[in-house]
Amino acid sequence: MGKKIDIIIHAASQASPKYYGVEHQWANWKNKMKKIEKVKLIKLQIFGDARGSLVSLEQYKNIPFNIKRVYYIFDTKRDTPRGFHAHKTLEQVLICVNGACKIKVDDGKNVDIFNLFSPEQGLYIGNNIWREMFDFSQGCVLLVLASRYYDPKEYIKDYSEFLKSVRCNRKG
């Protein structure tokens, strides 16, 4: 690794040889996550031996919903952020299977930023959460598991509309 990595969150176990030397800030993460209820970091189990490593993703086991769609984002530019939307009912788990990126989440009241850099961590994002992905490392591959098939009507792409939506949901 060489240079010091500024880590906001790290859920990988300290014993994991692949991520040796990375600060473990589990307690800080747990305290920060009390702010946004529909966002949580999921620790994924790595199975490995001398041949390599494997992570299994199973709906209703380590993924908290029925998986309807899987896609991945790659070949992104470091200075080109993505996302800038929320979903009305869709849930997602984001996993950085290669490289690193940051995810900004916003529930209309609180904002948090997660640094995804390990295939053994997934970021669960529930419905009605604004998300922005940025600061992609070279070679970053961000895998996304979604609870619904693609539907353009499911997206809220205007931030002020998102804020109106969350205010209405809190009242009702």
- Active-site choice (10, 24, 85, 87): 85
Distance of CA 145 to the CA centre of its chain: 10
User: What sections of the chain are H helices per DSSP?
Assistant: 26-32, 159-171
Question: How many CB atoms lie under 10 A from the CB of residue 162?
Answer: 21
Q: Is 85 a catalytic residue?
A: yes
What is the CA angle 77-82-86, rounded to 5? 170
Q: Is 49 helix (H, G, I), strand (E, B) or coil?
A: strand
Known catalytic residues are 85
